[in-house]
Chains A and B, each alone.
Chain A
Amino acid sequence: SAVISQKPSRDICQRGTSLTIQCQVDSQVTMMFWYRQQPGQSLTLIATANQGSEATYESGFVIDKFPISRPNLTFSTLTVSNMSPEDSSIYLCSVRYGGALTGELFFGEGSRLTVL
């Protein structure tokens, strides 16, 4: 299994500010995924981050709101921009070994954001 470290683990933010979440993986992976888990809701994919190319965003998520960086094969960041209370959620980084269509998906511990 993968060791996936996320920082920060939790934060309390003011409305209108931005916060960057970091994700570090202990081995090289091609695809990294960012999910959001809102209270009482299922995990929802925000975007897929591939090294060397622009991130691919799911419907309802845009780059201006959730810019993503993927500078190398073991690291990615997700920024939550211009935050509002509706952005209060757990943000999870995940990786998949064995290719995009096979293998297990492993998650980091998550970053719990509270926006006041």
Chain B
Amino acid sequence: EDQVTQSPEALRLQEGESSSLNCSYTVSGLRGLFWYRQDPGKGPEFLFTLYSAGEEKEKERLKATLTKKESFLHITAPKPEDSATYLCAVQAEGVRGSTLGRLYFGRGTQLTVWP
């Protein structure tokens, strides 16, 4: 059973067309929710960590928000260089047999921004 579900799987936007990516999770006792960006052939690049519902963080055109069941990554006026796969991961207390500090990742949303 997936702990983390990301949607949509793929998203195509025209440059300047704002949108949101979703990350829903089913774990209990959330200790942190993480967003990463991954370019082809590269390792994931850390973007944000959110720890509690209501928390928001921003970086350039990206803004991450968190509720008790999901997180959104809002992309405002995207540019072609924002094209990448965006990964969401959670760390939780409530996962049975969970290794200390383990993160559970979603499958990612592949974002393409065309000019």
Contact = CB atoms under 8 A, between A and B. Distances in A.
Contacts of A110: 41-43
A110 B107 CA distance: 17
B102 interface: yes
Contact of A45 (B32, B102, B108): B102
Interface in B91-110: 91, 97, 99-108
B108 A42 contact: yes
A114 B49 CA distance: 33
Interface stretch (A11-19, A63-71, A77-85, A98-106): A98-106
B66 interface: no
Interface residues of B, number: 27
Nearest to A96: B101
A42 B105 contact: yes
A74 B101 CA distance: 19
Contacts of B2: 42
Given A42-B107, A105-B89, 4 more contacts: A45-B102, A56-B99, A107-B43, A108-B43
Interface of A: 1, 4, 6, 31, 33, 40-45, 48, 56, 58-59, 92, 96, 99-102, 104-110, 112
Interface of B: 2, 4, 31-32, 34, 36, 41-46, 49, 87, 89, 91, 97, 99-108
8 contacts: A41-B107, A43-B87, A45-B102, A48-B101, A92-B43, A99-B101, A101-B31, A109-B42
The 6 closest A-B pairs by CB, nearest first: A100-B101, A107-B43, A43-B105, A42-B105, A109-B43, A110-B43
